Structure 1
Amino acid sequence: MTEFPEGIESGFAAARQIADAVLLEGYVLYPYRASAAKNRLRWQFGVLVPPEYTAQGGEHSHQRTECVMEARQDDRLAVELRFLRVQRRTVERATATGGFEPVERLELADRVLVEWDEAVEERIEILVPVEELMGEGVQQGFRLPGVGETELLREDGTAVGRLVRRREQVDGVVRLKAEELPGPYRAQRLTAVVENASTWIPRRRTPREEALPRALVSAHLLLGLEHGRFLSVTDPPEWARPAVERCRNEQTWPVLAGPDDGCKVILSSPIILEDHPKVAPESLGTLYDATEIDEILALRTAALTDEEKREARGTDARAGAVIDLAESMPPEVLERLHGAIRGLREISAGTPDGEQPWWDPGNDPAVDPERDEVLVDGHAVAAGSRVLLRPGRRRTDAQDLFLAGRTGVVEAVLHDVDGSVHLAVTVEDDPGADLWRAQGRFRYFQPDEVTPLEES
C-alpha cells in the first residue's frame, strides 16, 4: 500500500466516513434478506462495467472527474480509488459419502444460507508530484486476479456444508492530468479518469449478473493535496468561476470533503452530494439504505420475525450486523433518532409599520383559505367548487398523474409566500375523503391543473 503524507492521510481519514456511506449505499436493503424483491437488483451507483458490455447493459465503463486546484510548488497529489468487487457465493451441503452438493438453501441453527453476491472493498492508491501531471500526465493500470476460496461449515463438530466464493479478474486504469490555467492566479485544472480495462467479451444478451463480477462497483475517488487546496465546484471564487464552469464531470460529482470544512480533500462520488457532507451524529451504524430514516429502519428491523432475522444473518455478515444493532439499541438511543435541532435563530415578534411578517401567514387577515377565490378559465373557484383534475407532468408527485380525469372538490385556496396559488382538493368517490378532510390532508394542484365544472 502507498504511504500517504500525514497531512493527506488525516484528511482522507475524516472523509472516509462519508466515502464509506457512498461505497455501501444500497448494498443490502430492508428487510435485509436475499429473498426480498428489492435485493434482487443491486449495485445501482458507480458501476463501471467492461467496455465490451456498455452497448448491452446501458452502463458506463469510465468516470471522469475535473476540478480546479491551487497546487503549490513541489506539491504532491494523492489519489485513492475505492470500489467494491463482487464476490459470488454459492452454498453446498455435505453428503453422506463425505462430499458436497450445491443447494439453494442450507438451514443452520442461527442462520439460513442462500446464494448471494457479497462484496470485497478494494483500494488503488497513487501518490504523484503535481509537476508530473503536466503535459501527457500519468496513468497507472491495475489488475486484480481471480481467486476462489471455501469456508467449511460445522455444527456440533460435524461438517454440514460449505460456502464457495469466487472473484473474477478485474482490470482497470487511472489516468491523471493537469494543465495550468491562464490568469494572475496559479491554478490548474485536474482531470482524473477511471476506466474498467477488462478484456472480457460478453455473449449476446448477456445478463447483467454476469458482468457485475468483472465491474468496479460504487467506484469513487478521494483526491488530496499535500500543501495546496481545491476549489468548490458549486461555489468557487469569482475569478475561478469561468474555469470551473468548463470542467466536465461524467458519472461522478466532486465535492470538498475532509476535516473542519477544509479544502485539501475532494470526494468525487457517483451520488450527488454538497460540499463538506457529514453523517448525522445520532447515527449509530451503517444501515445501507440512506434513502430511509434511521429511526424507521431500526424499528422495522427490530420487528422482524425470528425466521426473518435468521435469513438476514445468513444473507450477509453486514446484514447480520444490522440485525444485531437493531436488537441491541436501547430506548434512549432510539429516541435520539426521532429528530434533532441543529441550530436556532431569534425571530423578532414585530415588523415595521405593522407589516405582516412573511413567516407567519396564518395570522394574515388579507388571506382566508376558506373564502378566497381564484379565476380559472373565467370561472371563480373557491372552497366547495367541483373541478376536473388535469395534473401536469412537471409535478414532483408522480402519484398525482393517476388522478388525471378524476373529479374533486376544492377545500381551500392557499397563497404561499412567493405569491403562488395552490388548490387543496379532496378526490370525489374516495372512500377515505372524510378522513382526509378531518385530518386536514389534501391533494394540491395549481390553478392551471384543474378545469371548473358547472354545478348541475
Structure 2
Amino acid sequence: MDHVRQIAQAVLYEGYLLWPYRESSLKNQHRWTIGGVHPEAYGSAHDNHPWRMRTECLVEAEPGDTVDVCVRFLHAVTRDVVRVRDGAEERVAELVAGGERRLPGQEAQERETHASGLVLDDLCRAPAVTDIAFPAGESREPVGERAGAVLHRWQALRGRIETGARRLEPGLFLLTVEVVNTTPWPGGTRDDAVQRTLVSAHTVLHAPHARFVSLMDPPDALRAYAAECDNVGAWPVLVGEEGDRHTVLSAPIILYDHPRISPESPGDLFDATEIDQLLTLSVLALSDRERADARDGDPRAREILDRCTALSADELMRLHGIMRKEPQG
C-alpha cells in the first residue's frame, strides 16, 4: 500500500500552498479550494460549496468478500503568534526572538477515519454508518526565552461515512460511499466555514479479495453499469501496481487508472499542474526576503525550500527529462 499512500498524499496536498509559497502572496490568500466537504448548513446556503461527497464504483466479488473504507482529509489549523510583555500576551504580525522569526497564518493536520472489514453481502441489506469525530483543540509552541509563542487552534469536526452496496448481478456489486459533514455551522465568513470543512477530502477503498472495475475503461459487458455510477465531487480510479484491481482512490481531481509519481521528483510541490523543474528553478530564484517569508510561515513551505536548495546539479538535471523504454505488450 506504500505506492497507494504516495498517490493519496499527493492528492491530499494538491493546491495546499502554491509558489512562491508565501502565505501573503495573492494566490495563497484564498486557500482550501480543492475537495472541500463543508458544513451542511453552510453548503446548503452557498453554491459551489458542497457538504457531501459520493463515490460509486463496481466490485466483482464472491460471497463473504469485504471492503475497507478510509476517508482522508486536511483539518485547517489557525496559527497565531503572540508576544509576552509584562506577563500579558498580545497577538502580533510577527515575532522575532532567539534567532527565530515566526509569522501567523494557517496550516493543516492530516485526518483519517476508517471502516474496515465491511461485508458486501451485509451492505446490501443495510448501509454501514461510521462517525467522523475530531474535537476542537489547541497547542502551544514557545518561542525564545519566554518571549512569546505560536498558538495552533482548530475547530471541532463532525460527520459520517455511509457505505452501502447493491447487487447488480451474481458476483457484481455497486458500492456507494457517501461522506457528509454534519459539523454545526454558527455562521460567519468563508474562513470560518473552512475551519469546519473536510479539506481535500478523498476516499480510499481496498478489497483484499474482491476486484474493482475500472470506470475509465470498463469491459464491454459492464460498460452500461459503469455509466450508471453517480459520483459527486469524486473521481474513482484504480491505484497500485499496474493491473492491480484491489484498491480504488476516489479523488476530488481527475486522475487516470494506476497513476504514478515520477521517480525523478524530489518531493511534493503541491501543484501537479506545473512541471517540477520549473517550480524548483522558480523556488531557487526567490529573493532573500521572499524565502524568509515562506520559511518563517508554514513549516511545509520551509521543507520545500530546504529540499530545493539542497538539490545537487545532477538531481536538477534529472528534472529536465528522461527517456524511458516502455515494456512491449
Aligned partners of 1:345 and 1:48: how far apart in 2? 41
**3-state secondary structure, aligned to 2:230:** coil
Map of 1:402 onto structure 2: none
Aligned partners of 1:166 and 1:243: how far apart in 2? 45
Q: Which has the larger radius of gyration?
A: 1
C-alpha contact 2:73 2:200 (8 A) present in aligned 1: yes
C-alpha contact 1:57 1:208 (8 A) present in aligned 2: no
**3-state secondary structure, aligned to 2:10:** helix
Aligned partners of 1:235 and 1:187: how far apart in 2? 17
Match of 1:233 among 195, 200, 215: 215
Change beyond 3 A, Cα 1:57–1:166: farther
Shift of 1:162: 0.5
Q: Per chain length, whose mean CA-contact separation is higher, i.e. which structure has more relative contact order (CA < 8 Å, sep 6+)?
A: 2
Map of 1:77 onto structure 2: 67
Q: Matched residue pairs, number?
A: 326
Aligned partners of 1:110 and 1:306: how far apart in 2? 16
Alignment of 1:34-53 (within 5 A): 34-53=23-42
Map of 2:94 onto structure 1: 105
Map of 2:164 onto structure 1: 177
Map of 1:18 onto structure 2: 7
Deviations 1:306-359 (A, max 9, x none): 22222111111110000001110000000000012233799xxxxxxxxxxxxx
Per the normalisation by structure 2, the TM-score is: 0.95
Aligned partners of 2:101 and 2:274: how far apart in 1? 26
Letter in 1 for 2:178: V
Aligned partners of 1:22 and 1:220: how far apart in 2? 8
Shift of 1:26: 0.9
Map of 1:325 onto structure 2: 307
Match of 1:138 among 128, 142, 149: 128
Deviations 1:246-297 (A, max 9, x none): 1100001100002343000000000010000001111011111212111111
Map of 1:163 onto structure 2: 150
Q: For structure 1, which runs of at least 5 residues remain unmatched after alignment?
A: 1-11, 347-456
Shift of 1:160: 2.0
Match of 1:187 among 172, 192, 206: 172
Per the normalisation by structure 1, the TM-score is: 0.69
Shift of 1:153: 0.6
Aligned partners of 1:256 and 1:42: how far apart in 2? 28
Change beyond 3 A, Cα 1:180–1:57: closer
Shift of 1:233: 0.3
Map of 1:219 onto structure 2: 201
Shift of 1:22: 0.5
Letter in 1 for 2:324: R
Match of 2:103 among 114, 119, 129: 114
Aligned partners of 1:67 and 1:298: how far apart in 2? 37
Alignment of 1:35-434 (within 5 A): 35-54=24-43, 55-56=45-46, 58-95=48-85, 97-108=86-97, 112-127=101-116, 128-154=118-144, 158-182=145-169, 185-202=170-187, 206-343=188-325
Shift of 1:113: 2.2
Aligned partners of 1:341 and 1:249: how far apart in 2? 37
Aligned partners of 2:114 and 2:78: how far apart in 1? 25
Deviations 1:154-205 (A, max 9, x none): 1xxx2221011111010010001111113xx510000110010112231xxx
**3-state secondary structure, aligned to 1:29:** coil
C-alpha contact 2:36 2:50 (8 A) present in aligned 1: yes
Letter in 2 for 1:335: M
**3-state secondary structure, aligned to 1:234:** coil
**3-state secondary structure, aligned to 1:181:** strand
Change beyond 3 A, Cα 1:107–1:296: farther
RMSD over aligned CA atoms reads: 1.7
Aligned partners of 1:337 and 1:104: how far apart in 2? 37
Change beyond 3 A, Cα 1:192–1:345: closer
Letter in 2 for 1:164: L
Change beyond 3 A, Cα 1:110–1:262: farther
Letter in 2 for 1:339: G
Letter in 1 for 2:198: L
Identity among equivalent positions (%) equals: 37
Change beyond 3 A, Cα 1:109–1:297: farther
Aligned partners of 2:91 and 2:283: how far apart in 1? 30
Deviations 1:369-390 (A, max 9, x none): xxxxxxxxxxxxxxxxxxxxxx
Deviations 1:61-119 (A, max 9, x none): 00110010012222111111000000111111121x13321111223576542221110
Q: For structure 2, which runs of at least 5 residues remain unmatched after alignment?
A: none
